[in-house]
Amino acid sequence: MSSDERPVVLVIDDEESILRIFETWLADEYAVRTATNGSDGLDKLDETVDVVLLDRRMPGMSGDDVLTAIAERDGACQVAVVTAVDPDFEIAEMPFDTYVTKPLDRPAVVEVVERLLARAEYDSLVQEHYALAEKLATLESEKTDAELATSERYQEAAERFADLDARLAEQSTSLDREDIVRSIPDAAAETEPSND
């Protein structure tokens, strides 16, 4: 665990000057890591990274190769591609979450990072929501109503669920339609249902 509680942003770009700009803009709010090429970026990508800002055009390992490598990992990080032109394809079908166009400006970059963090927060709340829903359903199937009423474990889980449900409702009001599409789990990528 890091003692630094700030969200971690990893910036991958072959131009040092661009990396310095991102650092200047983001270092107040976030813990910023930088990498000047794709393979170095992947080395610096661990489970603590919340957001990746990725230059699509780099010598050596291309941005698309990096995207594929990130998608193959289990991590929950959100990825924004930094590009000189508006992508002319359907964003939701690509293995990244959003994009930032050059020329870069600070408010736009900060907004993108914040939106991606909001989505990540939403996704993790939904996962927790499911885990608790499943636990409650299991307890409900094992115990009578009278037993549930006196079960501390059940009551505690029910309270946590109610609290989580309220947080999720609150968090989701900040999502726009694009965020909603991105938060829909990609079943096609999960060939094996991962139920333990």
Partner 1 sequence: MTDPTDAYDLFASPPAVDLPTGTSLLVTAAQPAGREFIVSSLAHGIDTGGDALVLTADDPAGTVGDELRAAATVPADAATDPIRIIDCQTDGLGVDDDSMVDRDVNTPRNLTDIGIAFKDAFDRFDRQGVDRVRFGLLSLSIILSYVDQETVYRFCQTLTRGLANEGALGLFALNDNAHDEETIATLKRAFDGVAEVDASGEELSVRITGLDGVTDDWVTVSA
Per CB under 8 A, residues contacting partner 1 are 90, 92-93, 126-127, 129-130, 132-134, 136-138, 140-141, 161, 168-169, 172-173, 175, 177-178, 180-181, 183-188, 190, 193-195
Nearer CB in complex with partner 1: 74/177? 177
Q: How far is the CB of 122 from partner 1 (least distance, A)?
A: 8
Nearer CB in complex with partner 1: 24/127? 127
- Which runs of E-coded beta strand occur in the chain? 8-12, 31-35, 49-55, 78-83, 98-101
Q: How far is the CB of 141 from partner 1 (least distance, A)?
A: 5
Nearer CB in complex with partner 1: 31/118? 118
Nearer CB in complex with partner 1: 24/174? 174
Q: How far is the CB of 165 from partner 1 (least distance, A)?
A: 8
| Separation of alpha carbons 49 and 188, rounded Å | 25
Q: How far is the CB of 172 from partner 1 (least distance, A)?
A: 4
- Pick from 11, 179, 6: nearest CA to 81: 11
Report phi then psi at 103, rounded to 5: -70, 145
Nearer CB in complex with partner 1: 84/181? 181
- Containing H/E element for 72? helix 63-72
Nearer CB in complex with partner 1: 104/168? 168
- What's at 127, amino acid-wise? Q
| Separation of alpha carbons 20 and 169, rounded Å | 37
Q: How far is the CB of 13 from partner 1 (least distance, A)?
A: 28
| Separation of alpha carbons 11 and 81, rounded Å | 10
Q: How far is the CB of 46 from partner 1 (least distance, A)?
A: 24
Q: CB neighbours (10 Å) of residue 27?
A: 12
Strand arrangement, sheet containing 78-83: 31-35, 8-12, 49-55, 78-83, 98-101
